[in-house]
Structure 1
């Protein structure tokens, strides 16, 4: 077998690198020039405290006014992650979990966190769960309607679990969507590294009082370093007038519109969740009480997307093993696609709604 010419091999690698880099630049430039702007108005605010708002996605029209408060319509309190804006659940007319719930017999409400203000910079997860989320749940309870379900997405699932354990008598069930629990389940070295980075960022946390969103995005991009290259290469080849291109831009704009974390929360999540795996080890505490899923005496639906790169399936599956009354659902989707993908309604929304009706 003839040996490869090192010079020719190097030249080929350089050419391929330039080609891929060119595709990356083409995709980024196309994204920057795309005319799409999200114009979907968010639902009105029902309750607020500090920078936290509760948005009311019940129909605002005459037919909605007749159905809102119907005891046959379950109320749904949706809790997103603290680091991402809620509107991924209301992305556009064709991809809005919240509006879909309203159209299919539910009264949906969603927590809109916004970034930490003066008060929230000192907040821990206990302050968010035992303070803001309990306030939001109280506001939902004051509205007429059927039984209340909590739905938590990603980190919001952990927050929803913390709330459910405190307010079991007030809820009918809990739905966890791509919720992490065992942070060392499939890539322990990476999780431990995140914990170490969190400790090294202590001077930043002390000076700013928060972990800037740009640093958070760097952490998440480290989960799949080639994802940025691949997604913009893909976008550069799309018909820029297509629905697929508009959906890409909508999602990318949402990803770039993240939320900073209050310093105490950053310490709990990076050092505790990732570094020490405190949830799985039953060392994560809210208001001085261990967050133990086995203590929840309410039915749970745990939705584990099979292609999730942000929350590995093994991390969520460990949560299922802790619950006493749990059903698992494993859609063929990724972390974000499970809620906004073309098959999200069929794969996730409809089965989750059917489960809540039961």
Structure 2
């Protein structure tokens, strides 16, 4: 192996350029205003405890589908990822596609929420949000769009409240929690959940966020900050980077009992696939998901591997099942330029054909 040749003049030139870019970048960081998120105008429709139901304002020029769609996001992160900024907004894309868009914001649980269960979230808060929308629009059933863990919640809800769901869309949704390539599943397989919940009460969001970052530690905790130097001289890209960082580290705590059940029943015992899952008074059988289903997954998803989502096809009872693979990752499916062009219009077209 020949030795690496380093020319002093080239090294000095590169170092000088790097220093200039860094100096300019630091000034851009200092000049950056407060980072805003959730850009689409919306109004509060219903509130209960920490939970808020929003309705987004549709463009006046767009003809809306008469059946609204409710976005159900995960508990573990904030839902403004679906409406991050003007040119990175799944919500805005859905509005442009003619959807009447609502969203459940679970809020930030505190110690008073420690004993909230999955039954409280799914058969309680979510069901009441659905009923509020149904009553407002005088409809028997509405459309659901479940994202990540919110997609799993939506599947459980659709399986036990079939008469209230017209069409179901799932995005990067875990179904089979024990596929061979699911690293997160392997990590929590032998976790003593009972001891964790009894010791901590609610599960700190910082702890969960640290877990997710360590799934790809070099990329998510090292390389991205080195790459950031390349965009520091562009104020708009600096703001974009900081906006994403704000979302990543904005992690609500998890209600202890809901966390206990989710880890045990889904990750450790894989009951959504194996059977035996109960949410409150309801037994959850995906064969009872008989409404049309559109399942969207990301091919480079490190949190929800494609096979974990694709397992849905063989489990649901509907004859109208469609799936779409997106060439990107777990976050890119919401915010990348390609996603903005492909995903919301596809969802809108698919729902329009079934309304």
TM-score range, shorter chain: 0.7 to 0.9
Shift of 1:114: 0.8
The corresponding residue for 2:107 is 114
Partner of 1:129: 122
**Bigger CA drift: 179-188 or 122-131?**
179-188
Question: Cα distance, 1:124 vs. partner?
Answer: 1.2
The equivalent of 1:139 in structure 2 is: 132
Pairing 1:356–2:351 present: yes
Task: State the 1:188 CA deviation.
Answer: 5.5
Q: Which position in structure 1 is the counterpart of 2:213?
A: 221
Aligned-pair CA distance for 1:338: 0.5
2:286 equivalent in structure 1: 293
Shift of 1:32: 6.8
Contact 1:55–1:111 under 8 Å retained in 2? yes
Find the counterpart in structure 2 of residue 45 from structure 1: 44
Q: Distance in 1 between matches of 2:333 and 2:30?
A: 28
TM-score under structure 2 length normalisation: 0.84
Residue segments in structure 2 that go unaligned for 5+ positions in a row: 5-14
Aligned to 2:145: 151
- Counterpart CA distance in 2 for 1:73 and 1:345 is 23
Match of 2:334 among 339, 344, 357: 339
Q: Per-residue CA shift, 1:34-73, capped at 9, x if unaligned?
A: 71511637622100111011011133x8x48x97xx6x43
In the TM superposition, what is the alpha-carbon distance from 1:196 to its structure 2 partner? 2.5
Q: 1:52, 1:114 within 8 Å by CA — same for their partners in 2?
A: yes
Contact 2:184 2:303 in 1 (8 A): no
Runs of 4+ in 1 over 4 A off after TM superposition: 29-34
Give the corresponding residue for 2:162: 168
Residue 235 in 1 paired to residue 228 in 2?
Answer: yes
SS class of match (2:191): helix
Instruction: Give structure 1 stretches of 5+ with no counterpart.
Output: 9-18
Taking the aligned partners of 1:136 and 1:33, their CA distance within structure 2 comes to 42
Number of aligned residue pairs: 331
